[in-house]
Amino acid sequence: MHSLRELAAKAGVTPATFVRLAQALGFAGYPELKRELVGRLLPGALSYAAKAEQLQNVGDPTGIYDQVLAAQAANLDATRRANSADVLRASAETLERANRVWIVGFRSLYPLSFYLHYVWSFFRRDLFLAASPSGVLDNALFAIERGDAVVVMTMAPYSRDAVMAAEVAAKAGARVVALTDSDMSPLAPYADHVLVAATETPSFFHSLTAANGVIEALLAVLANRGGAKALAAIRRTQERLQSMQTYVDPLVRRNP
C-alpha cells in the first residue's frame, strides 16, 4: 500500500531493489507488481475498465440479474460477520458523546452521507453534512475541534478528499468513525472505529448495498440509545412534516 520510496525506506534497501524484484517476477516494474498485489488484497480497487471488461466476458447476460442479487446477499452476510455488535455499539457511543458530528462522503458515497444526515436529523440537531456529490472538500471541516466526531466513508478506489478529511479530524483531536471496505483502507490509520462493508459485485462499479445496511443499523442503534429524548424529537419532526403536508396520502384504487 506504500509508495516505492516509502517501501524501500521501511525495508532498508534502495528503490531499485524492488524494481529488480518486480522484473524478476515477470512484471514490467514496481507499479505493475503493486497493482497486482492491491488487486488481490482489495478486489474493489481494480479499475472500472478492468471490471467492465470482465463483465463483457460473461457471455449470456440473462444470468447477470441473479448474479448481482446473489452478490448483494453475500455482501450483507460478509458485512454482518465483519462487524460485531460491540463495534457498532462503540461507534454509536462515540458519536452520541460528541459535541458535534460531521458526516463526510464524496462521489458515490454522497447519497449514503446524505441519508445518514437526513435520518439522524430527526432526533439530533448538531449535525453537519460536510460532503459534496462532486467530491469537493468542504471548508467547514476546518472548524472541527477536540470533542467533535466525524463519520467519514469511502470505498476503493478511495477518495483523496475523504482520507484528507479523516486526517484533518484526527489531527484536530476529534474522534473518527470510518465506513470503508477493508481494515487496510487508508482511512483506518486515522479512525477510532472502523466499520467494514463488502462491496463485491459482478458489475463494474462497487456495490453499496451492504454499506447502506451498516448505516441503517447504526441509525437504529443511535435511536435506541437516545431513549425518550430521541423518541420525543422524532415525534416532533413527524408532526412538523405532517403539518407541512410533506407527504401525499396513499391512493385508493378503484375496482374496475
Taking only the tens place, the pLDDT of each residue in 189-223 is 999 999 999 998 888 888 999 999 999 999 999 99
Give the separation between CA 164 and CA 191, rounded to whole angstroms.
12
State yes or no: pLDDT of 94 exceeds 60: yes
Choose among 88, 86, 44: nearest CA to 177: 88
Burial 26-52 (b: 16+ CB within 10 A, else e): ebeebeebbeeebeeebbbbbeeeebe
Taking only the tens place, the pLDDT of each residue in 127-145 is 999 877 776 666 777 889 9
pLDDT of residue 39: 63
In the chain, list all ranges with CATH 3.40.50.10490: 69-242
Which ranges constitute the DSSP H helices of the chain? 4-11, 15-24, 30-41, 48-56, 64-82, 85-97, 110-120, 160-171, 209-243
Report residue 4's pLDDT band, with 50, 70 and 90 as the boundaries. confident
Least confident of 32-36, 105-109, 179-183: 32-36
pLDDT of residue 188: 93
Residue range 69-242 in CATH 3.40.50.10490: yes
